[in-house]
Amino acid sequence: MKKVMVILAVCGLFAIITSNINLQTNESTQSVKDWKIYPLSLVDNSIDKKPDAFVKVLTPLLIQKNKHLPEQFSVYAKGKIEGVEVSLIDENANGQYNEIGTDVMVIGNSRYGIPLSRIINIKNTLYECNVASKGEKISLKPYEGEYGVLDFISNFKCPTKLNLAILNSDDIYIDVANDKKVAMPSGVYKLWLGYIQEGTSHVSIKQNQMEGIEIKEEFDKPDQRKVTVPNWGADFRIDFQVTIKDNKVQVPYGSLKVFGSANEEYYKFIVSLFPQVEVIDSKGAVVAKGAFSGC
């Protein structure tokens, strides 16, 4: 009986009543014990469905459902914080807009929403954030705790761009995929949700066995904070199950697990190119080839 070795190659891994309840849209300078209050407008287009009044965004819940196109939300709160447009989405539709980790905030013109957080990053400045339950206002005050700086993208080795990377520590959620120097409150963070998309192909990323990322307030120079730059992404490791029966080699597609160099896991693959299987004997000769259903 010949000894065989199974090699798996992943091809192209990344191969309404229109009732704009206007509560003022101008920024407020009102302060209560150092909190600055920003009124929001509650928009409800659930009947009239005016196309210019929707907020179109891909939320974490949609990504977890394997969606890759932004959806239109007809009921949301909107306004500006420090000159930046902000929208709040009641993700679970229970009438509350202030549920940290559940409801969604969209900052600027991003097509991605992130979970509502106790600390938010606006123009790379950190603020404590307090949202009114009905979404009529947001109160902010400058964050005064220790913080560090994170570069999560420079050492991410992958053929395609990282679209979304939400890091989480307790009740803090920050997207770190769009800037090489992101201010972060000190703490240990995990990768709550990563997302890569190219055309109609997309994949999600989660922590798995990846070590927590520790952010500290450290300085290279008296006026220059040290930047934490984790290494992750390629080289990729693929784990899978193999059964051999009646001279047939079977690799269940559902058994595939893809891990990065920092032990993060890539999952929920929707790709245009499917993995191919080759069976190689002890001399390196290919004795059989196969493809997953749909290849």
Residue 88: closest CA among 64, 66, 49, 59 = 59
Look at residue 51 and tell me whether its pLDDT is greater than 60.
Answer: no
142, burial (CB in 10 Å: exposed 0-12, middle 13-18, buried 19+): exposed
pLDDT, tens digit (0-9, with 9 covering 90-100), for 238-274: 888 888 877 777 777 677 889 999 999 999 887 665 6
Quick one: pLDDT band at residue 39, thresholds 50, 70, 90? very high
- By the 8 A CB rule, do 264 and 205 touch? yes
Considering all CA atoms of the chain, what is the largest pairwise distance in Å, rounded to the nearest integer?
82
Quick one: pLDDT band at residue 106, thresholds 50, 70, 90? very high
Domain ranges of the chain: 31-142
The span from the CA of 54 to the CA of 43, in Å, is 8
